[in-house]
Structure 1
Amino acid sequence: MLSWGYNTLMQDGRSLSDLKQGVTLEVFGEGTSPGPRGSINTNNYVSFGEAMENLESSGVSTNIASYLGAATVRIQEIGYANRKATPSEMESMRNIVKLAMMQGAIGIGSSLIYAPGDYADTDELVELSKVASSYGGRYISHMRNEDSKVLEALDELLEIAERANIPAQIYHLKTSRKPNWHLLDTVINKVEKQEQTV
Structure 2
Amino acid sequence: FIDVHNHTDFELLVCPTADSLIKQGVTTVIGGNCGSSRFPLTAAMLEDEDKYVSSEFGLKVDWQDLAGFFRRLEEKGQAVNFASLVGQGTIRAAVVGYNNRQPSTEEMGRMKRLASQALQQGAIGISTGLEYAPGSFASTGELIDLMTVLRESQGIYATHMRDEEDEVLQAVDEAIDIAEQAGVRLEISHLKIGFLKNWPKIDELLRKLNQAKERGVDLSADVYPYTAWSTGLSIFFPLWVREGRNQDFLNRLRSPQLEPKLREAIKEAETNLGSWSKVLIASVETEKNRQLEGLDLEQAAKIRNQSQDMFSFLRDLLVEERGQVSMVCLGMSEDNLKKILQQPFTCLGSDGNLASTTGRLSSGKPHPRYYGTFPRAIAEYVRKQKVLPLEAMIRKMTGFPAERFNLKQRGLVKPGYLADLVLFNYERIQDLATWSDPHRYPEGLPFVLVNGKLVVDEGRITGRLPGKVLRNNGQGQVI
TM over 0.5: yes
| 1:144 aligned partner | 162
| 1:33 aligned partner | 37
Q: 2:120 aligns with which of 96, 99, 102?
A: 102
Q: Distance in 2 between matches of 1:144 and 1:98?
A: 24
| 2:182 aligned partner | 164
Q: 1:153 aligns with which of 165, 171, 181?
A: 171
Q: Which amino acid aligns with 1:62?
A: V
Q: Are the structure 2 counterparts of residues 153 and 124 from structure 1 closer, same or farther at C-alpha, using a change threshold of 3 Å?
A: same
| 1:14 aligned partner | 17
Following superposition, the deviation at residue 39 of structure 1 comes to: 2.6
Q: How many corresponding residue pairs?
A: 197
Q: Distance in 2 between matches of 1:78 and 1:51?
A: 23
Q: 1:91 aligns with which of 109, 116, 124?
A: 109
Sequence identity (%): 35
Following superposition, the deviation at residue 149 of structure 1 comes to: 0.8
Q: Distance in 1 between matches of 2:69 and 2:39?
A: 6
Verify: 1:71 aligned to 2:89, yes or no: yes
| 1:122 aligned partner | 140
Q: Are the structure 2 counterparts of residues 45 and 64 from structure 1 closer, same or farther at C-alpha, using a change threshold of 3 Å?
A: closer
- Whose RCO is larger (CA < 8 A, sep 6+)? 2
Q: Which amino acid aligns with 1:155?
A: D
- 137-146 vs 27-36, which moves further: 27-36
Contact persistence 1:108–1:128 (CA under 8 A) = no
Following superposition, the deviation at residue 144 of structure 1 comes to: 0.3
- 50-59 vs 91-100, which moves further: 50-59
After superposition, the C-alpha distances for 1:39-76 in whole angstroms (9 at most, x for unaligned) are 39x99651122112211221111011111100011011
Contact persistence 1:35–1:49 (CA under 8 A) = no
TM-score normalised to structure 2 length = 0.40
Report the 3-state secondary structure (helix = DSSP H, G, I; strand = E; otherwise coil) of the residue aligned with 2:127.
strand
Deviation >6 Å, runs of 4+:
none
Q: Distance in 2 between matches of 1:179 and 1:47?
A: 43
Contact persistence 1:28–1:66 (CA under 8 A) = yes
Q: Which amino acid aligns with 1:82?
A: N
Q: Which amino acid aligns with 2:146?
A: L
Q: Distance in 2 between matches of 1:128 and 1:10?
A: 30
Following superposition, the deviation at residue 35 of structure 1 comes to: 1.0
Alignment of 1:178-197 (within 5 A): 178-197=196-215
RMSD: 1.7
Contact persistence 2:7–2:31 (CA under 8 A) = yes
| Structure 2 unaligned regions, length at least 5 | 48-61, 217-479
Q: Distance in 2 between matches of 1:124 and 1:76?
A: 16
Structure ID, larger Rg: 2
After superposition, the C-alpha distances for 1:98-154 in whole angstroms (9 at most, x for unaligned) are 111100011110010111121111112111110012211110101000112111101
Q: Distance in 2 between matches of 1:184 and 1:136?
A: 30
| Structure 1 unaligned regions, length at least 5 | none
